A and B are shown apart, each in its own frame.
Chain A
Amino acid sequence: MNVTARIRVWDLPTRIFHWSLAGLVAFSFVTGKIGDPWMSWHLRSGYGILTLLAFRIAWGFAGGRTARFSHFLRGPRIALEYAREALSGRYHPFAGHNPLGGWMVVVMLAALLVQACTGLFADDEIATQGPLAVKVSNAFVSRMSAWHSFNEWLVVGLATVHVAAIALYRWKLRARLAGPMVHGWVPVPPGENWPQPAMGHTGLALALLAFAAAMAYVLVVVYPAT
């Protein structure tokens, strides 16, 4: 048995972020579909998502090696080459996001950011308004409400592709991706020499999260009351 048979690829803040976000997105979807009396929770969930997204963007610059945008954003040619190989069944494992998954991360974050921000201005024309709807024209509220409705299906589509991709990796390429997002560890492939990537500082993560939460609080509570 090899001495260093496995390395830790995802630091604790990245993992907690991932599952919190997944949980809140699912909760937001369900409460949005039910409507009243869950709409106030739909809004709170959205503020939580906004906070997590702000944290993740900061973490993409200050987090662990594998959580950084500079680590997983590669050119489109590399991503396409990777996709071609994976589709032909040749799987080249990566310590962290692979070139295709890296782009998926950014696309999902962007779609969720659009969803959370349009929600701030939205009005369901029943009894619920986003906290910033009072600050802008009704025409803008109407446009943001429409975007919030359409982008919802983009988010659902991306989430479906995301989960389907994890399943395909599991069954077609024999790569387990969900487990490492829980415990952080991946086995080093035979013949490879993977150094242990630097993990993010949990204290820094807490500080960034607190800052993100404070920003969200100002945006949805303090500013609308002015």
Chain B
Amino acid sequence: MKKLAIAALVTAATALPALAQHMKLEDQVKYRRAAYDLLGLNFGSLSAMAQDKKPFDKEEAQSNADFAAMLATVPRHFFGEGTDKNTKAKPEIWTHRADFDAKMDKMVGEAQKLPAAVRSGDMAAFRKQVADVGHACKSCHDDFRAK
């Protein structure tokens, strides 16, 4: 599973920019939204476990964390110029690109730490990492996602 996740991650990181380059603008919106939806599904599960809303199941949490770490790397490739139609993404993304990229880096970096946090079996570390990812999501949403 771990090897698979890493392989998928590397593929995602290298192949997606090339794919996105020749893609219709509305398809970029479609794929980044799909990645966010699946990221939300997996991260939501981790968050529920971190808050004891559902029992902690290590196998499920590991799978959620691996998927979340991989999926977090996807959306950034699909924010090309002109992909600001029919989306909650604010125009500020393209006028403040450096700030947006920094916040995206932060989110991706925090999400990458999820699998290790689950593997450690340390619930306090797991809860903290889930909260850190949540903050990284929120700080970007606050500035760059329309209500």
Measured CB to CB, the residues of A under 8 A from B are 35-37, 39-40, 124-128, 145-146, 149-150
Contact = CB atoms under 8 A, between A and B. Distances in A.
Given A36-B138, A125-B141, 15 more contacts: A35-B134, A35-B135, A35-B138, A37-B50, A40-B51, A40-B53, A124-B138, A125-B40, A125-B145, A126-B43, A126-B138, A126-B141, A127-B130, A127-B134, A150-B147
Contacts of B89: none
Of A40, A125, A128, A145, chain B has the most CB atoms within 10 Å of the CB of: A125
A119 to B, nearest CB: 14
Majority secondary structure of chain A interface residues (helix, strand, loop or mixed): loop
A37 B53 CA distance: 12
Contacts, number: 44
Contacts of A39: 134
Q: How large is the interface on B (under 10, 10 to 19, 20 to 34, 35 or more residues)?
A: 20 to 34
A149 B134 contact: no
Given A126-B141, A127-B43, A127-B44, A37 B147 contact: no
29 contacts: A35-B135, A35-B138, A36-B130, A36-B131, A36-B134, A36-B135, A37-B51, A37-B127, A37-B130, A37-B131, A37-B134, A40-B51, A125-B36, A125-B40, A125-B141, A126-B40, A126-B43, A126-B47, A126-B134, A126-B137, A126-B138, A127-B43, A127-B44, A127-B130, A127-B134, A145-B147, A146-B147, A149-B147, A150-B147
Contacts of B46: 127
Contacts of B130: 36-37, 127
